[in-house]
Structure 1
């Protein structure tokens, strides 16, 4: 019996010693964590974040949303207005007249002629050639009525008249042609510069102006673009009076680019 009691005391003593060792170790860990701010059992935040982000592809910082698909074709029913007989060299202001009629501003071409910005610089001739005249980027050059020599006006010279009548006017010059077609698809006709015969000019002329020399062609022309498809561009031509007139797209693009990719519209 005495032997059994002694064995029991030894076992109890052993368990007490083991308990003290374990509790001392836990206390040491807790004390270390309190002092250092570190936890032995906590998983590092960087590991957790890495696992959370695992499998997610990083997006480039400069990634831009892609525009929606463009319809293969579009056509607008804009009214046609003729420049003849009152305005033989007035294709630009008459194209603007058609755009405004479609927009809902029912001013006549003759009313808009009065509003159009003009460059009154008179022409100077030498050896049968014009050597000094106005600049179409400033305003209409020459006599739009055709009573004396008239030339035309470019996008920056015509834009103020468009802006005065349509607050949301936009100059799309130098845009990609895809932008022009999307304007049509969204319901906005576009004034575009081309040539009278829709051919790239073979003859160019240069004269000096108050703001520097300009190279251009007397074949310069402006029309109202109202439609497109895969093969053609459709325009209202103020000179011929044709409505939704089809022109081979590649042919038209060549002349539009030759004339500086000029375009005016609105949003």
Structure 2
């Protein structure tokens, strides 16, 4: 046999043998690695995208949470400002946010018109009782007025959601967090500082239906979430929703204002 032909044949044989014996082994090492990289890449991308979206949605909230804290935050509650139309309309504006979240198409001005009203003073110059109705003028500070407490507000809410309104006034704050746990934002009466007030900020009115303790710092907001240290509220006097306030101070002020709260049965 010609030497050139012999060595050419031998080379072809060696190449064939290496391919036959080693080729499958090489593929078995390299291909799974490539497949793993192909599968892992989308997972990492999705995870990063999820975190970015979460940060965008809760950019003002996440800084207040740790992984160890229990937290409830009801997403998608609309924020409505009481101003400029309703200088004293915090109660009905907060109610409008609650009802709109529940799918009821009603605005603050409609509720302001519908809320039961009583005079600031009657013919005998006796002041009205906010437990009986909205006292005085709801629209402007240029006329005498005060506000309204839980009873008339719950009655108004009942006309839109009959049988579903839960007035838990007078109960412990745990009932508020239980409503939040169930998915219902909670309407409350508070004061505008969201902290306990000194007794000098209060006065007692003698009304035809009993004495009532009032403060001109009276306010109403909608609670939309909580964790161990904070509450999250939609404040009708603020420009945006989901504002953070101290839970401890807020609870104390809420109790001071008569522990008034309304939610929706789920």
**What is the Cα deviation at residue 157 of structure 1?**
2.1
Report the TM-score when normalising by structure 2.
Answer: 0.69
Pick from 138, 146, 150: which aligns with 2:145? 150
- In structure 1, the residue matched to 2:88 is 89
Bigger share in helix: 2
- In structure 2, the residue matched to 1:106 is 105
**What is the Cα deviation at residue 132 of structure 1?**
3.0
- In structure 1, the residue matched to 2:189 is 193
Pick from 194, 199, 216: which aligns with 1:218? 216
SS of 1:143's partner is: coil
- In structure 1, the residue matched to 2:126 is 132
**What is the Cα deviation at residue 179 of structure 1?**
1.6
Q: CA deviation digits over 1:86-122, x for unaligned, max 9?
A: 0011100000000011001111111111111112252
In the alignment, structure 1 residue 164 sits paired with structure 2 residue 159 = yes
Report the TM-score when normalising by structure 1.
Answer: 0.68
Structure 2: 5+ residue stretches without partners:
1-68
**What is the Cα deviation at residue 243 of structure 1?**
0.6
Contact 2:72–2:226 under 8 Å retained in 1: yes
Contact 1:201–1:217 under 8 Å retained in 2: no
1:1-267 superposed matches below 5 A: 72-76=70-74, 77-122=76-121, 132-146=126-140, 147-167=142-162, 168-202=164-198, 203-267=201-265
Contact 1:118–1:141 under 8 Å retained in 2: yes
Taking only aligned residues, the RMSD between alpha carbons, in angstroms, comes to 1.8
Contact 2:120–2:145 under 8 Å retained in 1: no
**What is the Cα deviation at residue 123 of structure 1?**
6.4
Q: Flag the structure with larger Rg.
A: 1
Partners of 1:136 and 1:261 in 2: CA distance: 15
* Aligned residue-pair number: 192
SS of 2:82's partner is: coil
